[in-house]
Structure 1
């Protein structure tokens, strides 16, 4: 099985990049840690100005670094990702017309201890007396992934990784805003 780092595709200047307007008390890292959301507020609101980009992609770039997706994206991966993610609704508001659509933060709760540092291209650096891992090229331990189709890595919980079956589902559904970087697998 192949695995990929899921990334936002920034190739079009017409794509919307939204900004947070109202966090409703939610903290940025609440949905980046790989843990279930404890207190989600459905009034969390992002906004965008269509003059700066009017194409709402299925995987939507945003200033929070959150995995923000359309209803079509949610529907496409829901079955494959069952038990590995939470879909947390947010409002997306166009600033001029006030037109509102619902998007979802995909809170990936499946965390695996699968990073193979011996075969990954990585460095450590210090920032504010904290040792930080920076990975240029990921290699994952296949046996540690198990049956996970969408997951984060223990100790490096920001990036999202998907199996070949999730990638295929995204591509078959013609979802927009995604790109995939194949990662190495060590057996």
Structure 2
């Protein structure tokens, strides 16, 4: 099966709304929403605003200043149809800056963390943080297909910033006209 790194489609973003999330209203570290940590007590009072001027449109993958995977109900429904059991859909209410509109959206908390990165076939660089710690920055991913086990939406262990999807999920998203997404095929070994 083919797999893709899911990206926001910046080439077609000219008229899309952009969410501004007030970090001071978070009751947790913002990076917890990307590390696959399950939330038991979700704070739905997070302050989220956007500019709705100049005929702005909402994309199904909604760009935001924290780089979270925030989606509309339409994209949520497609992901749910894939029957991934380690996904949380955390409600977010976004208000336009002029307070004339409210959007009900979802932060997709991907708890499917897979140890499938194949460094031998990936293109990456190593950065020394200090004498005891190094960071790997991957430019081109290669993943071990045998480790994924038919999961349609996942993050990689120790590389939680990137989101990966199966060809099956990509096709469902394209068939349903999902907006705001771009896909980069990754090598599967």
1:64 is aligned to 66
Question: Take 1:53 and 1:10, find their aligned partners in 2: how far apart are those partners?
Answer: 18
1:19 is aligned to 20
Question: Take 1:53 and 1:31, find their aligned partners in 2: how far apart are those partners?
Answer: 30
1:79 is aligned to 81
Task: State which of 165, 168, 180 in structure 2 corresponds to 1:165.
Answer: 168
Q: Which runs of 4+ in 1 moved over 6 A?
A: none
How far does the alpha carbon of each residue in 1:56-100 deviate from its partner, in whole angstroms, 9 at most, with x for none? 100001011100000111111112043131100001111013411
1:140 is aligned to 143
- The gaps in structure 1 that reach 5 residues or longer are none
Task: State which of 141, 148, 153 in structure 2 corresponds to 1:150.
Answer: 153
Task: State which of 169, 172, 179 in structure 2 corresponds to 1:176.
Answer: 179
Aligned Cα root-mean-square deviation (Å) = 1.6
Question: Take 1:3 and 1:147, find their aligned partners in 2: how far apart are those partners?
Answer: 10
1:110 aligns with 2:112: yes
| Structure-1-length-normalised TM-score | 0.93
Shift, 1:147, TM fit: 1.9
CA contact (8 A) 1:71 1:104 kept: yes
| Structure-2-length-normalised TM-score | 0.92
**Alignment partner of 1:62: what SS?**
coil
Question: Take 2:144 and 2:62, find their aligned partners in 1: how far apart are those partners?
Answer: 29
CA contact (8 A) 2:122 2:140 kept: yes
Shift, 1:34, TM fit: 1.4
How far does the alpha carbon of each residue in 1:92-119 deviate from its partner, in whole angstroms, 9 at most, with x for none? 1110134111100000000111000000
Count matched residues.
186
Question: Take 1:106 and 1:52, find their aligned partners in 2: how far apart are those partners?
Answer: 28
Which protein has the bigger helix share?
2
CA contact (8 A) 1:26 1:40 kept: no
